[in-house]
Chains A and B, each alone.
Chain A
Amino acid sequence: MEKFTTHTGIGVPLRQSNVDTDQIIPAVYLKRITRTGFEDALFAAWRKDESFILNQAPFRSGSVLVAGPDFGTGSSREHAVWALKDYGFKAVLSSRFADIFRGNSGKQGLLAAEVAQDDIELIWKVLENNPGAEVKVDLVSKTVECGNVVAPFEIDDYTRWRLLEGLDDIGLTLQHEEDITAFEATRPSFKPKTLPAKS
């Protein structure tokens, strides 16, 4: 995973709450078996509407999405994160993220920064009054800057550390393989196994 320290890019104000992962990427795009190439699928239904924010210059080239509360709800599809990344987004700001979406983001190096809704409102105003304004997201100091707005954001320390270092989760866990093996030896015999199959 690439390291993430700071990013500065055009902010996209998405004035909407409850942006579920079916909106971020509709199910029809989930049939692919690759992990990349989902940029066309991002917000596919909404992008058919010319007035949608990503169809307007300069937001089209945005890389920091500033959304309403409860972003990424619903389906666990990590394709939502892949689509945001493939399109060019490096960070999403919201006052509340769905758990699974936030977890998926952390695994893929997309920064999900939890910003208070009052600050989101201020950033929306700056971005709407100055289309193309940039948002700076600083993971070291845990702050976002946009115009005259400077706001703190929340992210759990473990995810922050992994993003700053660009660490691979599986590699980290396999450092504790002996612990896993020891645990497996204590698993009660009444617990089921899928093999051999019984029916």
Chain B
Amino acid sequence: MGKTLAEKVWDAHVVRKGDGEGANAQPDLLFIDLHLVHEVTSPQAFEGLRLTGRKLRRPDLTIATEDHNTPTLDIDKPIADLTSRTQIETLRANCKEFGVRLHSLGDKEQGIVHVVGPQLGLTQPGMTVVCGDSHTSTHGAFGALAMGIGTSEVEHVMATQTLSLKPFKTMAINVEGTLRPGVTAKDIILAVIAKIGTGGGQGYVLEYRGSAIRSLSMDARMTICNMSIEAGARAGMVAPDQTTYDYMHGRPHAPEGAEWDAAVEYWNTLHTDADAAFDAEVDLDADTLEPFVTWGTNPGQGVSLSAKVPSPEDFGDENAKAAAERALQYMGLEAGTPMKDIRVDTVFLGSCTNSRIEDLRTAADIIRGRQKDPNVRMLVVPGSARVRLEAEAEGLDKVFKDFGAEWRFAGCSMCLGMNPDQLEPGERCASTSNRNFEGRQGKGGRTHLVSPVVAAATAIRGTLSSPSDLESASAGTLTGIAV
């Protein structure tokens, strides 16, 4: 029988097969091709190496950037928050001591770790990629097996360049059809999570397949793979194709000449064989999909934007009912309220889910020549310094500033509020990020997860809105945003 994409990549990295079979099997030891490091989950791992006198085995397969704590204003000044500053300085000292390449604040390659890897061409098909960050699943968009790990595993990879892992099950997510204008990759993944739940992917590697996935750009595929973890899956993948190769060609660390040809020959084998079987399959119809938005406090609590806030009574399961009740109370929402009647205070365009150049372009296309609702503040935080420069070269910064949005420097920013970009208690935000957990964007903050185009339309109207709710003046641009 044939193999799935995930199994092929797994098998190509087995250093040592675990003893035993079936449920009693020991884990396999897998080689790790790329280890991404940032300031939050690495200090204790570096300290562990020091305490045990161990070396960093492969500095040449390791790269670090500063993202979670970094301010998005006044980046030329010392970081005001002393504990944040200490954490950043600790990363700098550790990278120096262990010989790790680091892109610091102010460097043109600095940015969110999951934006930096792909843009440098370091993320390639068929690789194993890990990082002490659950959104490492992003890199699966290239046909890599990429997963988030905890700090103990970070230390393990530093010391051995391997991970002990038990094989995952595989799940196909088949998305067939054509997305309508104004419906994006973000809506696909929010709909998938609502369908299978926050635990539905637990123990699986997801493979996104089907005509709707094939027609997506790399930026859009990254958005989908990024949120695989919100469905409980440690990794999500898309088989590489010409779109992948076109994105990669010419990037700083992409292979060149004969090496490129050898790589492509290998990459072309990285697809699920016709006679391979998945452990589970889920189908989603792209033709009928609408813009999606969350109403609750986990990413599975989402509905179509044209729907109403659900009632706890809509849920059969007692746990889901209790969770819905609690979520409505936290979110300050009443069951039955049309989602589009919900007024927001803030719009956040950014995060490793939606801060790439295409995300900024599609949002800019919606707001160009329009006015922001005066009661809404909008933060635009590019995923990396390079994305920011690229956007500025296209004049997108001017579009956002003319609109009344704040144009910031790169980092994780308001996705998790480790830096000063946070919501106030009770403040409501339409956010292109990945988690609507209680307090995620600031203590007491209320988060609705949305796509970049919904974020843009919401900033114009002040209430959760899709681009199709805007006056017909936008009709011309709408056709341009099917991504």
Docked complex Cα distance between A98 and B148 (Å): 12
Tell me, yes or no, whether A180 is within 8 Å of chain B by CB: yes
Closest to B86 in A: A33
Q: Which single member of B122, B152, B203 contacts A78 (CB below 8 Å)?
A: B152
A192 touches B124 (CB 8 A): yes
Comparing B157-165, B217-225, B369-377, the segment that makes contact with chain A is B157-165
Q: Report the minimal beta-carbon distance from A190 to chain B, rounded to whole angstroms.
A: 4
Docked complex Cα distance between A81 and B44 (Å): 14
Q: Report the minimal beta-carbon distance from B379 to chain A, rounded to whole angstroms.
A: 17
Q: Report the minimal beta-carbon distance from A116 to chain B, rounded to whole angstroms.
A: 13
B54 touches A170 (CB 8 A): yes
Given contacts A33-B44, A107-B153, contact A26 B435 (CB under 8 A): no
Contacts of A34 in B (CB 8 A): 44
Comparing B25-33, B354-362, B459-467, the segment that makes contact with chain A is B25-33
Tell me, yes or no, whether B471 is within 8 Å of chain A by CB: no
Comparing A4-12, A58-66, A69-77, A135-143, the segment that makes contact with chain B is A69-77
Given contacts A35-B47, A195-B60, contact A173 B86 (CB under 8 A): no
B319 touches A176 (CB 8 A): no
A26 touches B122 (CB 8 A): no
Contacts of B254 in A (CB 8 A): 192
Tell me, yes or no, whether B59 is within 8 Å of chain A by CB: yes
Q: Which single member of A33, A45, A170, A173 contacts B43 (CB below 8 Å)?
A: A33
Closest to A98 in B: B232
Interface centre among A68, A173, A197 (most CB of B within 10 A): A173
Docked complex Cα distance between A50 and B134 (Å): 32
Tell me, yes or no, whether A189 is within 8 Å of chain B by CB: yes
B262 touches A194 (CB 8 A): no
Docked complex Cα distance between A15 and B61 (Å): 44
Chain B interfacial residues counted at CB < 8 A: 91
Comparing A16-24, A85-93, A125-133, A144-152, the segment that makes contact with chain B is A16-24
Docked complex Cα distance between A188 and B13 (Å): 12
Classify chain A's interface size. 35 or more
Q: Which single member of B69, B156, B234, B255 contacts A169 (CB below 8 Å)?
A: B156
Comparing B280-288, B399-407, B438-446, the segment that makes contact with chain A is B438-446
Contacts of A77 in B (CB 8 A): 40-41, 150
Docked complex Cα distance between A199 and B385 (Å): 13
Contacts of A180 in B (CB 8 A): 15, 29, 31, 57, 160-162
B87 touches A31 (CB 8 A): yes
Given contacts A26-B439, A104-B152, A173-B162, contact A158 B252 (CB under 8 A): no
Contacts of A99 in B (CB 8 A): 202-203, 232, 234
Contacts of A28 in B (CB 8 A): 417-418
B161 touches A194 (CB 8 A): no
Docked complex Cα distance between A81 and B255 (Å): 40
Closest to A195 in B: B60
Contacts of B230 in A (CB 8 A): 74
A199 touches B87 (CB 8 A): no
A170 touches B437 (CB 8 A): no
Given contacts A16-B323, A22-B439, A193-B61, contact A27 B418 (CB under 8 A): yes
A sample of 11 inter-chain contacts (CB < 8 A) reads: A22-B435, A30-B418, A31-B84, A31-B86, A31-B418, A45-B438, A74-B230, A74-B437, A76-B41, A100-B229, A180-B57
Contacts beyond the supplied A33-B44, A193-B60: 10 A-B pairs with Cβ under 8 Å = A16-B322, A30-B40, A30-B418, A33-B47, A68-B319, A73-B199, A77-B40, A78-B41, A100-B149, A184-B31
